[in-house]
Structure 1
Amino acid sequence: MSPKLSSLSSLVIDEFGEGGSLSQHVHQYRSRQVQTDMAVAVSEAMIKKTNLILEAGTGVGKTFAYLIPALLSGKQVVVSTGSKNLQEQLFLKDLPALLSMLDITPRIALLKGRSNYLCQLRLDKQMQYASQYREQALDDLLKINQWATLSKDGDIGNLTSVSEHSSVIPGVVSTKESCTGKKCDFYDVCFTRKARLKAMEAKLVVVNHHLFFADRLLKDTGFAELLPDPDVVVFDEAHLVPDICISYFGSQIGSREIDKLLSLFISIHKKNIRDSIQIEHLANRAIMALNHWHNAMFDSAQTDWRQVLATKSLIVSSWELHQSLAELGQLVTHHLGRDDDLDNAFEQLVSLNDRLKIYFECQDPQAAYSVEYGPRFITLRASPINVAKQCEQLFTPKTSWIFTSATLQVNRQLSHFAKELGLQNATQVILDSPFDYPNQAMFCVPRHLGKVGQTQFSAKQLVDVCVQAINAAQGRTFILFTSHSMLEQVASLLRSQVNYPLLVQGQASKQSLLNKFRQLGNAVLLGTGSFWEGVDVRGKLLSCVIIDKLPFVSPDDALYRARATNIERQGGDPFAAISLPQAVIALKQGVGRLIRDEKDRGVLILCDNRIVNRAYGQAFINSLPPMHRTRDLDSALHFLKQIP
């Protein structure tokens, strides 16, 4: 960083210092040098129009450290978050507080994806068919119609009179497919358009990552681009960005998407074009082909599409599905111009079948073709094995791009993240947490653990450790797993061995389980992936986090295999280039659940001794907070018992 700071940095330093706005308005405020350092790094990147990758450990206070420079810079800034929850917290809590403290009134805007806004045209159409609804659905529809006349922004999140799970809501929210743009009778009062206009005029716009990339890469429009071309983009929770880029630079098709579209053709025939029974006939034939393909895929359970290609019956049923969709499309061409809904459905059908054909042909050597199986649906994905080149074009030099998270570095370096996103000239800064980890937290890898992979033995061993830790912590424990199968085994064994409430992922929504965990005060929560990050339980409610094993990606994962093959082709080591960095960042996310503020105390127990007896284990240890380390489980249990 240049020794001569910009005027913005000087202004920001004053705000964070003694006598600044924060000290005047925040109760018991104490200036933290690490927070000021981050604010200065952000300010310099904004002024100099450079890119910045910055890891800010838990407790740095990164939200204020980037928002204050953003608000004082006078530049147009887009702040992108990893979740809608954080997005709303920024807009409804953090920003109003800061604007009041700083005594400034720039225009700010919260922008969500289309499906969060009511579409007046779709509501109007649903009202025309209101007599066909059952009692509960009709009641919901009438309440939504009444709310629509009173709402200023049409944000469905503010609709409290109807359940968020109502069957009516998907039929009245805005979609790209149903948007007719300037031809719409409701164009002037359109909620989605007004939200976008507000964003275009704002100095600071808060979005989430999925919306940002949908706009930038898919051009999810209907009027104009969602977001302005801002001076600065700040990605909070930036560790999520590489995977999101892979998703958006790739493509996906779901069997539910196909089924829904075919059902739409049947509905259009029955309501709008009753003189062509052939539309319904061919749509039903396509549904039969979809079901046949769907069942055959589930029977095979193959997750790598290139392996599916080796099974003749699966390829035959795949192309039969494609052909049945093509035949329906050919028939519909004779009816185009008769009905707007049919015309729109035809465009969707052509686009979908073209994407399906590209997927079935599987000709891009730089992509991984995978199959994901849900409870009753299949998703086909084509994912690029390297997004760095696309990202170089996306992150243009006319904008300053700032990436921050508590988990970006691997082995005290940010080069892995920079390389993934093609950020060649970004300033790289690591700011450690101000928490006193050696005294606040203990990290235990118990001795005498069996080898990872001996499933039955590992489950019993893991349960033994869990029971001792749960009793020592008096509940108040998270147990984080790398697989659902291990979670289910441990949950089954624990039920008869502990007397504390067990909350298991899948019993209820993530938020419901977390609320119950907080309310009970002595609960044990068992979770996989989604509970490793974005979970904030402070104070005495959470004293122990147990992790079953190091979170390495499965070697059978189709994207991993494709990327690994590509790296090997270039003479590289896939483990060092992909597996290890991803596992380090994932472990850091799990560990980050434990200590959330300067008064927290707790124990982290990792039941995987590879971290101490394999050479690569040092990369994990170097990347984790400096907790007091021990191999003695009794020492960890004693520490737990001392936490009130």
Structure 2
Amino acid sequence: MHPYAVSNVRSQIISRLLKEVILAFSPEGALAQGIKGYKPRPQQLTMAQAVADTLDSPKGKLVLEAGTGVGKTFGYLIPALLSGKQVIVSTGSKNLQEQLFYKDIPALLRMLDIAPKVALLKGRNNYLCQLRLQQQLDDAQSLEAQTLDDLLRVQQWATASVDGDLGMIATVSEQSPALGLVASTRETCIGKRCEFYEQCFTRNARLKTLDAKIIVINHHLFFADWVLKDTGFAELLPKADMLVFDEAHQLPDIAVSYFGQQLSLGAMERLLGRIEDVYLNELRDTGQLGELARRCMSRLTDWVQECLQTAQSDWRVLLADKNIAGRSWQLLEEFQALQRLLLAHVGRSELLDDCFEKWLEYLTKLKQFLDCDNPSAAYSLELTGRLPLLRMAPIDVTRECQQLFNADCRWVFTSATLQVNRELRHFAVGLGLQDCREMILDSPFDYQRQALFCVPRQLADVRSDSDYQLQRLVSICLEAISAAKGRTFILFTSHRMLERVALELRGRCNFPLLVQGSAGKQSLLKKFRQLGNAVLLGTGSFWEGVDVRGHLLSCVIIDKLPFVSPDDNLYRARAAELHRRGGDPFNDISLPQAVIALKQGFGRLIRDEHDRGVLILCDNRIVNRPYGSAFLNSLPPMARTRDLAKAMKFLHEIK
């Protein structure tokens, strides 16, 4: 057996795939020849062998945490590419999806000297809809000058685009409202009746997956099309030999959203706008249609404003208000009147027929939310844009996931943050995974030398929300920022604390401040890298999926342990159900989720073997509460201190 082979292979007989994988990672293999300064990593080879072993199994499930620096991307891609089998790779973000398709996979294909067909597939709203573009340009007189200019740029780009991916337009800002006007959407798609059906970018992107060996998608797309079987796409996405989920720690939360129900009130408003357009352009003899569509839009807006004025997101609590409940049922009656009118005109317009079908679907969902009769679900009103989203989230998706992941296929779930207290049980149980192989591969980085973890003394109780707590946090931030010469992330568990600290730092911090909300995420990160001495303040979305390497980031400060809010609707529903079953909501829900989130936050700091940095946690519960050991055992083995001066000295020494 090759010296780099591990002992726990499934069979004494080394398969062809396993031999090729071992050779690819060897000192004389494809990676060594293609990457300057390549050094074999035992953990990476162990992972690749485990993935190859899963591919060689009739029905395999592998749950694998690969710490930062293991090189998990190549660890699963190389066996997938060498296997010759059809493999779907699902990622947690579009950024990673594009990195795999445009960078990592092409590089590996050159090194391995193979040429399997590879396909990239995104959600439909990432693709240009040629019909919507034509409709917008036909109605150009109603558009603002800048929006029209952007649409003309889109039109020019579309003539040369191969895939219609709106994310590839360099001449139009990603914040431009023009992109939303021409993106493909389910509610505006008319299928085979469309004059652009044969050239449709969304349709052709899906067709390309049929004979591709490697298909790169994302988790939302996987659940939307495998669970909901959205508009027949499940028939086009092949039944692959294996599915690999990178950033798999996101799966439980995403599964909850797709096994539940949601109703976009914004989508309802847009559909009402389409109905009014049909009246204006096709059925001018039906004045009642336009009048009723406009009245429904007005009533919808008024009703939403009334709901939002309560500042209440728990849908059950909202409906307990007799006034809002009464107005809600009146709104449904108004919508049903429009439904009856649409039915009376079925057959007169293909566009109106399509609107009628979608309106029926929306009303069915709205009725379900007004009935609000599923005791095993949490109902919420979520503000996601100008108009909110109604969401029903199941308390437990274990049974649904169990049915899904027991399908006749091979499965690999990997991430840098899956284990809690050195166990993968929490993740496996949450997804209903049975008979799965579990593996934890620690990072090869020298954390004792590269990183220092500091929990300063004299911290206030983070639950007190006192002025002392704020001023102590600000004082620590200012001292650390000065020692690190900027180059700092400050991560918060709430927008409120972020805003309070940002206000205190303005005028007192001698380095550029970049605050979440002042610009888009990617814009802020780009500026952070360009400046070289900036301080970035962020919440949730900056805790993961952010890669700043080298001397640009030397310090990460976290305000407190990232426990879920006890007021969160889904958490309260889950906790109540767990209590009924005799479980412990804190140990079974809150603690594991917080451990994973803290690991994600720390993961921003040390990105390669040359990075050095300090993690400062301003929450002493990690050292004076019994559950603190679960956090400490789950974090990499950094040097630790409670002496802030030692942390400052460490920062001063980083060049």
- TM-score bracket for this pair, using the shorter chain length: over 0.9
Which residue type is aligned with residue 15 of structure 1? A
Q: Aligned ranges for residues 428-439 of structure 1 at < 5 Å?
A: 428-439=438-449
- Alignment match, 2:409: 399
- Alignment match, 1:36: 45
Distance 1:168 1:545 in 2: 37
- Alignment match, 2:5: none
1:138 Cα offset (Å): 4.1
- Alignment match, 2:83: 73
Q: Which moved more, 1:563-572 or 1:138-147?
A: 138-147
Q: Aligned ranges for residues 226-625 of structure 1 at < 5 Å?
A: 226-374=236-384, 376-455=386-465, 456-625=467-636
Q: Deviation per CA, 1:38-68: give whole Å up to 9, x if none.
A: 1011111111130011000000000000000
User: Are 1:46 and 2:46 an aligned pair?
Assistant: no
User: Taking structure 1 as reference, are residues 146 and 636 closer, same or farther at Cα in structure 2, changes over 3 Å only?
Assistant: closer
Structure 1 vs Structure 2: percent identity of aligned residues? Answer: 59
1:184 Cα offset (Å): 3.4
User: Taking structure 1 as reference, are residues 271 and 323 closer, same or farther at Cα in structure 2, changes over 3 Å only?
Assistant: same
1:277 Cα offset (Å): 1.4
- Alignment match, 1:102: 112
Distance 1:293 1:130 in 2: 31
Q: Aligned ranges for residues 12-31 of structure 1 at < 5 Å?
A: 12-31=21-40
Distance 1:341 1:573 in 2: 53
Distance 1:82 1:92 in 2: 16
Cα pair 2:187 2:271 within 8 Å, conserved: no
Which residue type is aligned with residue 526 of structure 1? L
User: Are 1:56 and 2:66 an aligned pair?
Assistant: yes
Cα pair 2:498 2:537 within 8 Å, conserved: yes
Distance 2:591 2:295 in 1: 48
Distance 2:194 2:383 in 1: 38
1:282 Cα offset (Å): 1.5
Q: Which moved more, 1:579-588 or 1:258-267?
A: 258-267
Distance 1:284 1:188 in 2: 34
- Alignment match, 1:221: 231
Which residue type is aligned with residue 526 of structure 2? N
Distance 1:257 1:3 in 2: 54
Distance 1:580 1:92 in 2: 37
Q: Which moved more, 1:493-502 or 1:540-549?
A: 493-502
- Alignment match, 1:193: 203
1:130 Cα offset (Å): 4.6
Task: Give 2:170's match in structure 1, choosing from 160, 169, 172.
Answer: 160
User: Taking structure 1 as reference, are residues 121 and 296 closer, same or farther at Cα in structure 2, changes over 3 Å only?
Assistant: closer
Q: Deviation per CA, 1:69-102: give whole Å up to 9, x if none.
A: 0000111000011111111111111011100000
Q: Deviation per CA, 1:379-405: give whole Å up to 9, x if none.
A: 211001111110111113411110000
- Alignment match, 1:172: 182
Unaligned residue ranges in structure 1 (runs of 5+)? none
2:217 is paired with a residue whose SS is: strand
Distance 2:559 2:169 in 1: 41
Cα pair 1:220 1:226 within 8 Å, conserved: no
Which residue type is aligned with residue 275 of structure 1? D
Cα pair 1:481 1:487 within 8 Å, conserved: yes
Cα pair 1:79 1:206 within 8 Å, conserved: yes
1:131 Cα offset (Å): 5.7
1:187 is paired with a residue whose SS is: coil
Q: What TM-score results when the alignment is normalised by the length of structure 2?
A: 0.95
Q: Which moved more, 1:376-385 or 1:67-76?
A: 376-385
User: Taking structure 1 as reference, are residues 457 and 184 closer, same or farther at Cα in structure 2, changes over 3 Å only?
Assistant: same
User: Are 1:115 and 2:115 an aligned pair?
Assistant: no
Q: What TM-score results when the alignment is normalised by the length of structure 1?
A: 0.97
Q: Which moved more, 1:573-582 or 1:339-348?
A: 339-348
Which residue type is aligned with residue 41 of structure 1? A
1:115 Cα offset (Å): 1.8
1:134 Cα offset (Å): 5.1
1:268 Cα offset (Å): 2.0
Distance 1:121 1:308 in 2: 40
User: Are 1:210 and 2:216 an aligned pair?
Assistant: no
